[in-house]
Amino acid sequence: VEIKDITPPEDLVNSMARQMKAERNKRASILEAEALQYATIKQAEGEKRSIILKAEGQKESKILEAEGYKIAEVLRAEAHKQANILEAEVQKESAIYEAGAIERKAEAEAKATELVSKAIKEGDIQAINYFIAQKYIDALQSIASADNQKLIMMPLEATNLVSSISGIGEIAKEIFTNKQKDNSQ
């Protein structure tokens, strides 16, 4: 038997064509579904990774911010400490200079008192007049420059000042004369 031509019936050919088409459509649908599933998984993994990275970034940012605040506070405290040290040193130096000035003023005052005392002993009444006039002027300056001063007392005439000094000079002269009499007896 020799078969030369096989021609299936047309309805069989159509049926086989439909079956092949259905098989191709099925494979295409499966591939499309698998691709969609793969894409969805990859998208979800990407979003998950993005959220994780964002959270890690925020965590790192907060850590760095806290470290920055800590460093700033330490620097601020060190600056405050240094400022206090410098202020204390300035106050110390100021106190030393002020003490030196007070000491020099006291020495000068002692020397002036010694010179006036020596001048009085030698009979020079003008020295005590000058010394008292100087103290009187210093006292008036202190009163006039006081923060709470309301009234300044000044002699009406300059002669009052001179007469006051002369009166004091007379008293000193009497004392000096009386001392000389006592010493000679």
pLDDT for residue 43: 97
**Cα distance between residue 176 and residue 171, in whole Å:** 9
- Of the chain, the percentage scoring pLDDT greater than 90 comes to 55
**Cα distance between residue 166 and residue 126, in whole Å:** 9
Q: What is the pLDDT of residues 70-80, one digit of tens each?
A: 999 999 999 99
pTM (2 d.p.): 0.40
Q: Is 149 helix (H, G, I), strand (E, B) or coil?
A: coil
pLDDT for residue 142: 77
Band the pLDDT of 130: cuts 50, 70, 90. Answer: confident
Q: What is the pLDDT of residues 99-119, one digit of tens each?
A: 999 999 999 989 988 887 887
Q: Are residues 119 and 111 in contact, defined by beta-carbon separation less than 8 angstroms?
A: no
- Best mean pLDDT range from 3-17, 30-44, 128-142: 30-44
Tokens of 9: 């019936």
Q: What is the domain partition of the chain in residue ranges?
A: 123-184
**Cα distance between residue 36 and residue 47, in whole Å:** 16
